[in-house]
Amino acid sequence: GAAVGGAAGALIGHQMDKQVLFAFDSDQLGTTARGNLHTVAASLEKYPNTKALVVGHTDGVGSGAYNMDLSERRASAAARFSR
C-alpha cells in the first residue's frame, strides 16, 4: 500500500495499492507487474508534484547481503519502468 496526502491523495493512494510481484530470485518485471506499474505511472503523470518512494523486498531465503542487493535491483527495475 501507499500513504499519500493532499487533494489527490485518495485517488493516487488507491492506484498505488497495486502490487508489483517478482518471480523467486528475480528482478525481471512480469506482465502483471508491468500493467500495475502502468496504472501507477498514469496516476503520477496526472499529479506531477507527487513524489513516490519505491522499495523492494525479498523473502528470507539467502544471505542478508544477497537479499539487499536483490531488493535494490527490484526497486530499481520498478522505478526505471515507471519513468
Q: Is the pLDDT of residue 27 over 80?
A: yes
Please determine, for residue 5, whether its predicted confidence score (pLDDT) is greater than 80.
no
Q: Is the pLDDT of residue 81 over 90?
A: no
Please give the DSSP secondary-structure letter assigned to residue 8: T
Residue 54 corresponds to which amino acid?
V
Angle between helix 64-82 and 31-46 (nearest 10):
60
Provide the pLDDT confidence category of residue 15 given band limits of 50, 70 and 90. low
- In tens, the pLDDT along 46-56 reads 888 877 788 88
pLDDT at 55: 84
pLDDT exceeds cutoff 80 at 17:
no
> Which residue matches cell numbers 502490487?
19
pLDDT on residue 7: 47
